[in-house]
Chains A and B, each alone.
Chain A
Amino acid sequence: MLTLRPLPLATLALSLTCCAAVALAAPAPARADLPPPVQPVITPPRVLRTAQAELPAELIAELAADAVVLLELIVGVDGAVTEAHVLEGLSPELDAAALAAIQRFVFDPARRDLEPMAARIRYAFSFALPQVDAGPQLPPLGTITGVIRSHEDAPVASAQVLIVSRDEAVVRRVTTAADGRFEFEMLPPGTYDVRVTIPDADPLVYEEEVLANEATDLVYRLPAPPPPEEEEEEIVFGAEAVVDPPPREITRRSIRGEQLRTIPGTAGDALRAVEILPGVARPPFGAGALIVRGSAPGDSEVFFEGVSVPLLYHFGGLKSVINSRLLEGIDFYPGNFSSRYGRRTGGILEVSLRDPATDRFHGLIEASAIDLSFIAEGPITENFSIAVAARRSLIDLVFDAVVPEDIGVVAAPVYYDYQLFTSWRPNPRDRLRLLFYGSSDRFALNIEDSFGDDPAARGTASLTSRFFNQQLIWDRQVDSRTEQELAVTFGPIQARFSLGQLGFRGTFRQIYSRYERRMQINEHVRVLVGSDVFITPVKLTYNGPQLGQSEGGGSDSAPLAGRETVNVALDTVVVRPGFYLETNIDADPMRFVLGTRVDYFGEINQWVFNPRLSVMASATDTLRFKAAAGMYSQPPEFNESNSSIGNNNLEPIHSAHFGAGVDWDFHPGMTVGLEGFYKPLWNRVVAIEGGVEPYFENGGRGRIYGMELSARINPDDGAYVGYLSYTLSRSERLDHPNDPDAQWRLFDFDQTHILTLSFTYNLPRNWSLGGTVRIVSGNPSTPIIGSVYDALNDVYIPIDGRTNSQRNPLFHRLDVRVEKKWIWDSFQLAFFLDIQNAYNQANQEGLIYNFNYRQSTQINGLPIIPAIGIRGEL
């Protein structure tokens, strides 16, 4: 038995008895021809978080300053106290208080070398204010709370509830109170089994995920007793927890919690985190476009709590419009997504919101060079909590000093966004969330004379976009087998752009609703049925050049001068209802997901039917195979199908998704995946040559194929997190298949190789250091092979060579993030430095040309951008 020296803690005396000492007590004799074996380094447990004993005031007054209860503890591999009993007590009341308090302690577990292990220790519990070792850092912890109810909704008291870690270690054990509630606080993030034991019944086991800094509230409801004729049979309890449904997609890539905000290169912007995932192409200039598996940005969609988001980023990519610290996570579906999602042929990004804090009020202020934001949140009542956040840019404070004096600044660039989220749980079955959120971007310059080489580029140049959404989400546990969700969103979206006489002005009053019902039909079959309806009254005016093909439009470098302008005034309503049904069949080790979706696109008066199928098979507990096929459709862009500037006889655009792959959890906390995909496209909308009526037609085709490799390292102790993603793909288009000279061309953002490596290490003393490396093939571009002098307007019209027949050089970049936190009892201060393009690589994003297109120079992407910020958090 090995005994190590007690830790030098001021208020406690600690000695360690290592459970694993047996293995060390009798080392194998060393062979003469071999060097002696290296003895492992044993590190004892250390206290990370303490808890005060709760004592009546009169007992506290009587306590001696050195009153100590000597305890014997077993500290599990996760740092939690799994067993405790008194060796030398003071009194029954004091002993009980000490035992209760010690259960809430959190330790850094004992370690053999770096491997955590369980350890039995003796611990002198002092009733004086304990002090915490300032050495190791506190990992983010989570909480699971819940209630056990009978089928008649009555609380079930005295049920034993255990929470068990993945390696079968009992982390904590509680008994439900009279109201049926139980609680496990301060759990390290990870997956656990919650085991409920009720007398005369088989134990029930549920798998739960503990998320850092989050409380997961669960309802386990017992099923109704069996019918009378079966009364003599053994009662089998069932239960249903408010947890995520089983996976419907073969590929779902998620990033959650703090990881979202600490990925280097994102400047703490959670939505930017998606760019490190496989299948996502790098958008040029750091713009916010979501380019998924070779699909155009408009082919993919972002949902916020199940509802399509009208605008994702300020000024097209500067910063996302929803405060990242209100987000729970992002789920990214690069293909073969569920029938729940429609009207898109690319990929889906689902952004989920966390509930406002329920324990106490919290506040956060964050300031960086470009904006200032705050969050305040907390409980109003026991069941009702609220979060308020707002952000405003600071760019306008310096803009006047930067702009040349003879350019009048009508409105310096300003963005702001705001969120008000409430969550109300009137009863354990229901949760109502009311969300108000909006955003505004505005920018205007007055340029009396034209600038550059285009005489038409003059007048007031302005950009305004704003939206205000009101969203109601009602989740209800209908019964032990049925859940339902109703979400309704409505709010105006305004967008204005002008350049002199040219411009666009539109108001869209988006109404979006989703009703969804999820039913566990039996042990093996789960059904999802729902409908989402998109209705948008649209009023817009447009005065500008005829719009061309949004993808594959060539260099798009022609001046505005001399281009024929079109004038459009519209007042219409876009109606797109959708209906979906999905069946999830669990035939262990196989899982089948059969989905169908029907959509109606009102603006072109067309219905589409999309069948989808996914198959997942678990070869072992750690090895899963998957394959899927499905059809996906989307309507043409609004301008393409509008009869004034487009063709309202267009048909929907279609794509088929085929994918297959394997996921392997090769080590706890480490997962690797490999997936191949193929996507044919047909009925793509392409512009008619010369831009003449009807301007657009169907008939374009496309083919996209490739493979994705992903690896994720995220050990339970949260010491570090790493992502590796590599995508090898090719995306091509054929615009006019009936043209005998037509050839396949590259997609605008075809990137053959996309390699991203991101790693963040949590260092001692609350430092974290991370880096993201990206190596990506350059985007294709269209050469300009000459020009024609337009003598009427005194400009040159460029002549394009073959579309996308050349490519920018390889892109590579390193982003670095350093963060330091100071943590006090009720306040946390963080300082961060996020450096994008740390070695200032001049990555070419394209070419710009002189007035007659005889000279060109490269236009580069982002230079080195250090972003410094400070954040205070209550």
Chain B
Amino acid sequence: MRHATIKRALSSLACVGLLVGCGEQLDPASLLNQTRPVGVLFSVEGDPTSTRPAADETLNVTLLMAHAAEELPVSYFAIFCVPAPSTVGVPFCDFDADGDPILVGGIHAGNDIVGDPAFTLDIPSEAELDALGVESSLLMLGAFCQGRIASVTGIANLFDADATSVNPCSDPEDDGAILSTTVTLLRGDAQRNSNPAIASLTLAGADWDSVPSGTDTATGCMGQGLPEARQGDDPITVILRATGSSRETYDALVDDVLTPVRESLQVTSLATAGEMQRTFTFIDDERDVVDVEWLPPTEGTPLDGERVRFEFVMRDGRGGLARVRRQVCLLP
């Protein structure tokens, strides 16, 4: 499809087929026009491909950030707690008898961090986990802001019925966000899991290598060794391959029977300009590569070119994650 993303096509289809009038189009998720999180990378110390720590192990945690232009410093905080039972809505911590959330470890926080914020979590011993009532997972709740974190109020406000907005940042206009994810522990029936890896990327059939160092400026990219594209070009095909071991096999309940199944890898594709054909694509039993088109912008490119940043994040659905960044020099 040449001139519209799937989302826009379906929106248009809904307008015609379902006879629903639509307002203005919203930015697609694939448009990277602000600093935002793209995932949380877990890596067990001493076993860097593993995402699931056992008791007494240390987990390296990295908040992966993506930026619309140059990398901006961010502030963050994170806590880990025993998750409350829930099947709908926003996950939250379970509470103890005093009404306090059952935390595991302390508060992890930092200000003005350039690059992806990273910290470690020491997993308690088996006995301590049992005492806290941990089964096989911990809930991570946190937040990041481009300015300062206001406090944990943003998170506390989740349960305030009268709240009119929930923003963890001191500046209400801050593009910060509240984060959550789950850390699966190697205890009980939990199975091992490793982070997947991206084997290769091609752009219009050619290898698309990582960014040369020292060239990371917003404009003026002409002749700096980046793959080039011109505004108004036809869609350009990006092909992403995962390493052979990325799709792990694990046991899952299928019709109440424990059955070996292979992971399905979900790939998120983001670009700072133009349109990705789809935000989410998959590598599964039917397709062994991701094949997604990028439609360059049609106007507004400076004479010396514009650097367009791409983020590709691969997830295995079980906590494993890989991320690569690429750039294209867009010429008028």
Contact = CB atoms under 8 A, between A and B. Distances in A.
Interface of A: 285-286, 395, 399, 402-407, 413, 447-453, 455, 458, 545-546, 548, 558, 563-564, 566-567, 687, 690-692, 741, 743, 783, 785-794, 796-797, 799, 801-802, 842, 845, 848-852, 854-863, 865
28 contacts: A399-B17, A402-B17, A404-B10, A406-B6, A449-B278, A449-B280, A449-B292, A450-B281, A455-B279, A455-B280, A690-B84, A690-B89, A692-B86, A786-B166, A788-B91, A788-B177, A788-B180, A789-B177, A790-B180, A791-B179, A792-B319, A794-B313, A796-B177, A850-B29, A851-B28, A851-B279, A855-B26, A859-B20
A20 B19 CA distance: 57
Interface stretch (B34-42, B113-121, B197-205, B207-215): B34-42
Nearest to B88: A691
A856 B22 CA distance: 12
A855 B27 CA distance: 8
A786 B178 contact: yes
Interface in B23-76: 23-29, 36-40
Contact of B23 (A558, A790, A857): A857
A96 B25 CA distance: 78
A483 B23 CA distance: 57
B178 A402 contact: no
A690 B86 contact: yes
A819 B250 CA distance: 66
Interface stretch (B98-106, B156-164, B226-234, B236-244): B156-164
A791 B320 CA distance: 11
Contact of B26 (A406, A450, A857): A857
A447 B163 CA distance: 38
A788 B90 contact: yes
Given A447-B6, A690-B86, A845-B20, 11 more contacts: A403-B13, A404-B4, A691-B88, A692-B86, A785-B164, A791-B39, A794-B38, A799-B90, A856-B26, A857-B22, A860-B21
A797 B158 CA distance: 12
Contacts, number: 188
B180 A404 contact: no
A564 B158 CA distance: 20
B90 A797 contact: yes
Contacts of B131: none
A863 B177 contact: no
Nearest to B36: A852
B23 A860 contact: yes
A657 to B, nearest CB: 31
Main secondary structure of the interface of A (DSSP, over half): loop
B273 to A, nearest CB: 17
Contacts of A865: 19
Contacts of B84: 690
A690 B18 contact: no
A794 B87 contact: no
Contact of A802 (B9, B17, B19, B162): B162
A860 B22 contact: yes
Nearest to B5: A451
Nearest to A837: B21
A794 B278 CA distance: 14
Nearest first, the 6 A-B pairs at minimum CB distance are: A786-B166, A860-B21, A851-B29, A691-B88, A691-B87, A857-B23
Contacts of B163: 785, 801
B177 A785 contact: no
A789 B19 contact: no
Contacts of B38: 794
B29 A787 contact: no
A404 B27 contact: no
B85 A692 contact: yes
A153 B157 CA distance: 80
Contacts of A692: 85-87
Contacts of B87: 545-546, 563-564, 566, 690-692
B170 interface: no
Contacts of A856: 26
Given A455-B266, A786-B165, A791-B37, A799 B177 contact: no
A112 to B, nearest CB: 49
Nearest to A845: B20
A789 B179 contact: yes
Contacts of A789: 36-37, 177-180
Contacts of A859: 20-23
B20 A545 contact: no
B282 A413 contact: no
A396 B166 CA distance: 45
B307 interface: no
Interface in B270-298: 278-282, 287, 292
A177 to B, nearest CB: 56
B327 interface: no
Contacts of A402: 13, 16-17
B219 interface: no
Contacts of A861: 20-21
B21 A794 contact: no
A783 B162 CA distance: 11
B101 to A, nearest CB: 15
A285 B177 contact: no
Interface in B145-203: 154, 157-158, 161-167, 175, 177-182
Contact of A453 (B23, B29, B266, B315): B29
A790 B22 contact: no
B268 interface: yes
Nearest to B266: A455
B1 interface: yes
Contact of B17 (A413, A566, A783): A413
B7 interface: yes
Given A563-B88, A785-B166, A792 B23 contact: no
Contact of B181 (A567, A785, A790): A790
A404 B315 contact: no
B13 A404 contact: yes
A848 B21 CA distance: 12
Contacts of A845: 20
B18 A792 contact: no
Given A690-B85, A692-B86, A787 B177 contact: yes
A399 B16 CA distance: 10
B18 A285 contact: yes
A783 to B, nearest CB: 8
B19 A404 contact: no
B86 A453 contact: no
Most chain B CB inside 10 Å of its own CB: which residue of A692, A786, A859: A786
A794 B90 contact: no
The interface centre, meaning the residue of A458, A792, A850, A861 with most chain B CB atoms within 10 A of its CB, is A792
A857 B24 contact: yes
Contacts of B182: 792
Contacts of A842: 21
B178 to A, nearest CB: 5
Interface in B107-145: none
Contact of A450 (B17, B19, B158, B280): B280
Nearest to B313: A794
B206 to A, nearest CB: 23
A404 B1 contact: yes
B23 to A, nearest CB: 4
B205 to A, nearest CB: 20
A787 B89 contact: no
Given A451-B6, A453-B29, A455-B266, A558 B89 contact: yes
A857 B179 CA distance: 24
Contacts of B157: 786
Contact of A862 (B21, B89, B268): B21
B7 A452 contact: yes
Contacts of A783: 164
Residue from A413, A546, A566, A785 whose CB has the most chain B CB atoms within 10 Å: A785
Contacts of B266: 455, 794
B20 A799 contact: no
Contacts of A566: 87
Given A690-B87, A690-B89, A852-B177, A450 B278 contact: yes
